[in-house]
Structure 1
Amino acid sequence: MGEHTERTTDDSSLMEDVYPLSPVQLGMVFHDLYSPDAGVYLNQYVFSLRGRLRPEVLRDAWRHVLGHLPVLRTAFVWEGMDRPVQVVFRHAALPWEEHDWRGCTADERRERLGRYLEAQRGRRFDLLEPPLLRLALVRVEDEEFELVWSYHHLLLDGWSISLVLQDVLASYDALLRGGTPVLPRRRSYRDYVAWLLRQDLAAAETYWRATLRGFAGPTPLGVDRAPDAAASGPAAFGAAGRLLSADATAGLQSFARQHRLTVNALVQGAWGVLLARYSGEEDVV
């Protein structure tokens, strides 16, 4: 175990809390360790900001939120443990960068931003070193900025993002006015894990065995594939991308909100429909 991990487990003064992982988190940690260079669970958001932004105040707003939300100060420890645990640190330094690209043309900025995002995706997070997030503020014009937020999916899901951003905006507004941010208390992820541990796992297993009765294997895709094309070993997958227009993105977000879904759940549903079309089967596993 590294120096930081030893401090984590041996020096309780550094820790605010320690509790188990949820089943979803356990799966993410396994895949992160099994395929450390895959970057599957590194998420990125890019926000375009317009107006007389004060970068130092925005930075301090993020620092305040980092101190306010325990989940953002969480590390994950597994070595020397019977089962992995998540450790909430009392303090964590905010990884913050600022860049000035005002001398670039619009095309140069797009290309440069693309390279920067790709480079950030290639920098994996050390699960032992909180916070598992990075921020970069890029000034592209005097009153135009791009805020890049990279974070590990272990910390946040789609619903959580909006809550974090609400706290950041409220903190920025308070600091801009010379006040101290007063933020609402968010329900701890520990509470959710505790709720999971109280559930009847035997009843859940009975339900899923009944639901999946009759399925002997995954859904066949019905497309030609070479015999050796099946995934094997770490990071045995490919990637494809397609940019959506701003209008299409806004439409998806609006539809998801109306139906109380995350955009990710909406995309997963569309993926299921596509697999059903390929396989010719109504049920997809």
Structure 2
Amino acid sequence: LPLAPLQEGLLFHALYDEESPDIYIVQITLELEGPLNTPRLRQAAQQLLTRHPHLSACFLTRPDNHPLQIIPTHTTIPFTETDLTHHNPTTRQHHTQNILHHTRNQRFTMHTPPLLRYHLIHQTPHHHTLTLTIHHILIDGWSLPLLITELLTLYHHPNNPPLPTPTPYKTYLTHLHHQNPQPATTAWTKHLHTLTQPTTLTTPNPTPPTTPPQHHTQHLTTHTTTQLHHHTRKNGHTLNTLIQTTWALLLHHHTNQNDITFGTTVNGRPPEIPHINTMIGLFINTIPTHTTINHNHTLTQHLTQLQNQQAQLLDHHHLPLTTITNTTPHTHLFDTTTVLENYPL
């Protein structure tokens, strides 16, 4: 099968520096309480792969450098068990953290399927830790809770699971393949034609090192969150527009540029594909958000301007970032990005 736009980018990063940590490996950990039927859990993991065969894909590059994803006829799920029930709590915790760290930092070989693995750790007879490690090239954030829900449903109902027949990921790739790129290219060319320069916070590095991200978390109070929702609803804006406008103003403050561009991750799920919101796979894409800061405008005017610009580009989110960038005279457009995550948990 061909690759989705972001899959091509993730494959490039995975092959660009095979010695450094792969920061696009995702790890989900579940704490399971109560008696566990391990063979049934392993079977559920295998059934999940049967339901969604594209999750067993590997990625190859043809001699003309054109990438392909290959779906094997059958793949056995990597499922490892570790028994820590005879250790004391401190030792169990230490071993568990070592296992999670090792599985998270163990790179996948992109041409060897599947790019996911399970590890089940038995803490006590009634407490188990299950970790799923999977490459981001197979799945996006919206899909993760769907995946876990299906896994647990298959565990509880191994013979007749109450799950709908999944829409193949190939349906989405076929939809992308049949899109006429010209309207999208024209729309992005029109949107970015006034772009004077990239918006960057750092000095461009042609060979940037691959380093794991650092995290800083800031929680807003319930009162502040309620006020933000009230403000956006009252003025016909979305919370995403508010976050993006705030980020644009912050970039303006730090760069002293009025012409602001940054990346935005969009969910990339075309509504015309039936059951698109229940499909599991990688649909997201990163696109530029471009807006102008006008000191004569109010905050509300800036919000309205950006939201209107975004609405005009909704049908063109599928275009690869490299193609969008090629509509401008610049080799890159931004070095920061925003994403609003609102998943069906």
Code of the residue aligned with 2:71 in structure 1: it is V
Secondary structure in structure 1 of the residue aligned to 2:35: coil
Change (3 A) 1:284 1:108: farther
- Selected match of 1:233 from 182, 202, 207: 207
In structure 2, the residue matched to 1:188 is 168
Code of the residue aligned with 2:214 in structure 1: it is A
The 2-side partners of 1:238 and 1:276 are apart by 27
The 2-side partners of 1:63 and 1:270 are apart by 44
Percent identity of equivalent pairs: 27
Please, which runs of 5 or more residues in structure 1 have no aligned partner? 1-18, 256-264
- Asked if 1:212 is matched to 2:195, the reply is no
Alignment of 1:136-215 (within 5 A): 136-175=119-158, 179-181=159-161, 183-215=163-195
Contact 1:35 1:234 in 2 (8 A): no
Change (3 A) 1:217 1:202: same
Secondary structure in structure 1 of the residue aligned to 2:77: coil
Measured on the aligned residues, the alpha-carbon RMSD in Å equals 3.3
The 2-side partners of 1:30 and 1:271 are apart by 31
Secondary structure in structure 2 of the residue aligned to 1:99: strand
Deviations 1:231-250 (A, max 9, x none): 342634453135799xx9xx
In structure 2, the residue matched to 1:259 is none
The 2-side partners of 1:100 and 1:276 are apart by 54
The 1-side partners of 2:143 and 2:165 are apart by 13
The Cα of 1:207 is off from its aligned counterpart by 1.6
- Asked if 1:114 is matched to 2:97, the reply is yes
TM-score for both structures, normalised by structure 1: 0.73
Change (3 A) 1:90 1:236: closer
The 1-side partners of 2:111 and 2:71 are apart by 11
Deviations 1:186-229 (A, max 9, x none): 111211111112222121122222222333333243xxx7xxx6
In structure 2, the residue matched to 1:123 is 106
In structure 2, the residue matched to 1:26 is 8
Moved more, 55-64 or 72-81: 72-81
Secondary structure in structure 2 of the residue aligned to 1:131: coil
- Selected match of 1:99 from 49, 68, 82: 82
Code of the residue aligned with 1:98 in structure 2: it is E
The 1-side partners of 2:209 and 2:84 are apart by 34
Please, which runs of 5 or more residues in structure 2 have no aligned partner? 230-239, 263-345
Higher helix share: 1
TM-score for both structures, normalised by structure 2: 0.61
- Selected match of 2:17 from 19, 35, 38: 35
The 2-side partners of 1:72 and 1:116 are apart by 23
Secondary structure in structure 2 of the residue aligned to 1:158: coil
The 1-side partners of 2:91 and 2:187 are apart by 55
